[in-house]
Amino acid sequence: QSGCALIIPGIGKSSNLDRFHGSDHLAIPGETCVTYDSVNAAFQIARSKIGLPAPKGKTLTDQDIDNLGNVIVETTRIIAHQYGLPRDAVYNGLPLIDTKKTVINKFCPAYLKNPKCEVKRYREYNGMCNNLENPHWGAALTANRRVLPAAYADGISAPREGVAGPLPSPRLVSAAVHRDLGYHDHAVTVFLTAWGQAIDHDLTLTADSKDRATDEDPVCCDIPPEKSHPSCLPIEIPPNDKFYSLFRKRCHEFARSAASLKYECKLGPRTQLNMVTHPLDANFVYGSNKEASDTLRAFRRGMMKSFPAFKELGLRELLPLRMENPDDGCLRPSPDIFCFSAGDGRVNQQPMLTTIHLLLLREHNRIATELGRLNQHWDDERLFQETRHIIAAIVQHITYSEFLPMVLGREVMTRYNLILEKNGYTKHRYDPSLEPSQLDAFGAAAFRLHTLLPSTVERWNKNHKYHQSRRLSEILRRPFDMYKPGVCDEYMLGMMNQVAQAMDESMTQEVTNHLFQDEDKRWGLDLAAINIQRGRDHGIPSYNAFREYCGLNRARSWDDLIGVFTNETFRAYTALYSHPDDLDLWSAGISEKSRPGSLVGPVFSCIIAKNFYNLKFGDRFWYENQGYPSAFTPDQIREIRKSRLSTLVCDNSDTADTVQVYAMVLPDHDINPRVACKSGVLQRMDLSAWIENPRSPSPSIYPNLNALDTQNDGLDNLDLDLKPFKDMGLPGFDFPKFPNIPITAVGANLKPHIDPTNAYNTNFVPSKDIVPLEKPIHQERPHFVEPPPFRHPQKNCCPGSFNPVNRPLRRRHDLKISKPLSVENRRSDKPLRKRKHPSRTRNTFRDIIEKLEKKSNL
């Protein structure tokens, strides 16, 4: 092909590549003509420079995409260099070139070249055809989207650099700003944290670069530069780092994310690859492609596979075991112990997350069984797909009715139309012009709510009494506690009773010094530093650029940011960064003072809300939508609206028989009472709304909980609308009429630096309609029954962990519950507690396996 692929007004430039092809005559005075010949030539040069191995298997992997993505980025660089293109032309112009007319087309995978769509009831596993005009929108293995041009140092792919000097080392920022201060939230439970991570895994999984030779993460530290992998971007650890200097560590491993492909493999700056489907569709339960999903299915009555570890004890099943690639994301103490398998490979990252996966697996099997009873003519496929459809709707409903209102607050929820309908279909219809894809700034920064992570994970018993806790770093990638009978219930109850860390700049050392720490080491990785470096790797524009995007004033000088952060953090930033334009989005966004009534500050709430707006209105399968075969009937939607995180626990645990109405909020006598699972307060989905043929049902094996007595729970005077909660403005119900009570009056992120004039100070007037419970639900805070996880050498304080003091956690001065553990203390700390769990676990596990094998030939 010859001819202009793109004409750019301005000083006419031609390329050597054109001359090489004899098409110099295409140079037009006053205009730059980028020719097809030069694109082809640039691609061939890039290919031979970088190498483009043929895909190994039938299905395209992230590594195949990374390989081609890197060649296309290099092609872009060559063309930009040849024609001397400005950044704007690289960002906005080159992607306009029709790659179908170039050699790139031969290498571009079919799914990125306008596949055909059928309109069906169920989502495709890989998310294709959600948008019928643009079938790739929101599909797995596509790029994240940008709302602002990428801020690469070279305009194409080099990590972001400072405007007025070098950027500070991410570890330096982490150590100065994201220190472990140990504040906890006022009323949010760690269920919110765990649910946040679970839905993040539904939304984003950015592909890593791999070493082609080993197929492993590239090793980037202690390698001579000439031998270093091209994706290496290790983090420098300053020599005086208080923690890592103890181990003489000066380098922190980090490799860049894989390069992605744009639609039709267009040219342009580097993008990043999302391995999972972008919309909120429960892919973390089912996987993002058919092959993965098939491995999880039992292919019997719509059920999913599970592991009946405790069948003989009459306890419910666990997740199926991870037998393929058993060490992927799992630190196994011995080869005969296995982690779990689920739709998302990160299921074993920490046990609270594993427990959420388990809850949804059990809920799937519960619903599939019930649907099978109601519709005996449905085959396995229909039962499986309809249940999958319902589970996706439940995940959407819980996220928008329980999680987001706490994170964003009423005002932002209202502004972005994120509040769910009470009845019928959504009034704000599906918008086919909206792309339901993840914003890069969301996955690489705004939704990394890692400061919510607790230092220890607590387990509580069915009487809501504290039982045990373990250091977070000890249980990362080690879900083996689950092999002890009853422990997954204790995690469920722990999640609804343990108070979350505050959403502020402070982050637990469990993940800033000890992330994924090896058994034989005393140091691990730093998640805060990784988050900052990841933002630079992805070319995420600075915090200041996003202030402007979100309608706030762009800081011209440091003075413009006074009051945005705590004084201490503000001072740290001015010392670390040369200019406000350099501030990293993740660090500054997470450190912003929270908006009144929400957990996050203005910039993060804007990015998070925008992202969830696209996921609501750009998703054709959104559960409140009508007009497509995927639409639920109004009766079915009414039933889905009854779903609640607390009922998931009630229906899918072995022992829980009381729960607070909102599991992501601490129980409170007045506004979030604990009620019996079998009470009528917690409504259940009535699946008879799915009966196709009224004559088909067989008797249920489950009790009809909606019909159960409401007499013994002390709440029988409440109408099922829970009017008092409504007045309190809890999520899921109408928001309060009186504007001066913030929605998260119960979920306010209390920190010492809270502005005394903000809405938290509003006098909180409990409704007179509250009906007292029979028993008070305020408990004494438990005392640890085992020694606290970290022992201070001098005093018996329990830094970084929850201080089990007897107090109801309601007053401002209750905020600071634990002292930070200074590095010096940690240094003199003995090697962390000897670990006896793996062997214990192994015995338990072996016993169970042996018994099961004997009994059922497993």
Comparing C-alpha atoms, which of 246, 244, 189 is closest to residue 221?
244
Burial grade of 567 (CB within 10 A; 0-12, 13-18, 19 or more): exposed
In the bound state with ligand HEM, the residue whose beta carbon lies nearer, of 453 and 817, is: 453
Torsion of CA 414, 419, 421, 422, to 10 degrees: -100
Q: Tell me: does residue 598 bind ligand HEM (CB under 6 A).
A: no
* Pick from 71, 2, 69, 10: nearest CA to 38: 2
Q: Which of residues 556-595 bind ligand HEM (CB under 6 A)?
A: none
CB of 440 to ligand HEM, least distance (A): 9
Partners of residue 33 on adjacent β-strands: 7
Place of tokens 């029709």: 98
Residue 207 CB, shortest distance to ligand HEM, in Å, is: 8
The upper half-sphere exposure of residue 177, i.e. CA atoms within 13 Å in the direction of its Cβ, equals 34
Distances (CA, A) of 332 to 85, 272, 853: 52, 31, 21
Query: In angstroms, what is the minimal distance from the CB of 387 to ligand HEM?
Result: 26
Q: Buried b / exposed e across 406-432, counting CB within 10 Å, b at 16+?
A: bbbbbbbbeebebbbeeeebbeeebbe
Nearer CB in complex with ligand HEM: 76/455: 455
Q: Considering only residues 261, 318, 393, 530, which one is a binding residue for ligand HEM as defined by CB under 6 A?
A: 530
Secondary structure (3-state) at 325: coil
Q: How far is the CB of 605 from ligand HEM (least distance, A)?
A: 14
Catalytic position from the list 201, 278, 389, 514: 201
The rounded distance, in Å, linking the Cα atoms of 780 and 778 is 7
Pair 353, 194: CB distance under 8 Å: yes
Q: How far is the CB of 435 from ligand HEM (least distance, A)?
A: 17
- Of residues 167-226, those binding ligand HEM (CB under 6 A): 193, 196-197, 200, 204-206
349 binding ligand HEM? (CB under 6 A) = yes
Q: Which helix (H) or strand (E) holds 676?
A: strand 674-676
Interatomic CA distance for residues 168 and 513, integer angstroms? 18
CB closer to ligand HEM out of 205 and 319: 205
Cβ closer to ligand HEM: 407 or 572?
Answer: 407
**Binders of ligand HEM among 64-83, rule CB under 6 A?**
none
201 labelled catalytic: yes
CA-CA distance, 701 to 379, in Å (whole number)? 19
**Cβ–Cβ < 8 Å for 724, 683:** no
Task: State the nearest-atom distance from the C-beta of 454 to ligand HEM, in Å.
Answer: 8
Size of the site for ligand HEM (CB under 6 A): 22
Is the CB of 177 or the CB of 637 nearer to ligand HEM? 177
Beta carbons of 554 and 547 less than 8 angstroms apart: yes
Closer CB to ligand HEM, 200 or 370, in the complex:
200
Residue pair 297/807 in contact (Cβ under 8 Å)? The answer is no
Give min distance, CB of 135 to ligand HEM, in A.
23
Which residue, 70, 71, 68, 48, is CA-closest to 111? 68
The residue ranges of DSSP E strands in 211-329, in sequence order, are 235-236, 251-252, 273-274
Site for ligand HEM in 441-480 (CB under 6 A): 443, 447-450, 452-453, 472, 476
Beta strands in 401-529 (DSSP E): 456-460, 466-471, 499-501
Coil, helix or strand at residue 522: coil
Query: Of the candidates 258, 527, 555, 681, which one interacts with ligand HEM according to CB under 6 A?
Result: 527
∠ Cα 536 540 543 (to 5°)? 100
**Least spacing, CB of residue 72 vs ligand HEM, in Å:** 21
Q: Nearest residue by C-beta to ligand HEM?
A: 196
Nearer to ligand HEM, 203 or 746 (CB): 203
Taking alpha carbons only, the member of 408, 398, 423, 394 closest to residue 734 is: 423
Q: Is 524 in the site for ligand HEM (CB under 6 A)?
A: no
* Shortest distance, position 805 Cβ to ligand HEM, whole Å: 24
Q: Interface residues for ligand HEM in 476-495 (CB under 6 A)?
A: 476
Residue type, 542: S
The residue (of 350 and 625) whose beta carbon lies closer to ligand HEM is: 350
Q: CB nearer to ligand HEM: give 267 or 449.
A: 449
Q: Which residues bind ligand HEM (CB under 6 A)?
A: 193, 196-197, 200, 204-206, 349-350, 443, 447-450, 452-453, 472, 476, 511, 527, 530, 534
Which residues are catalytic, by number?
201
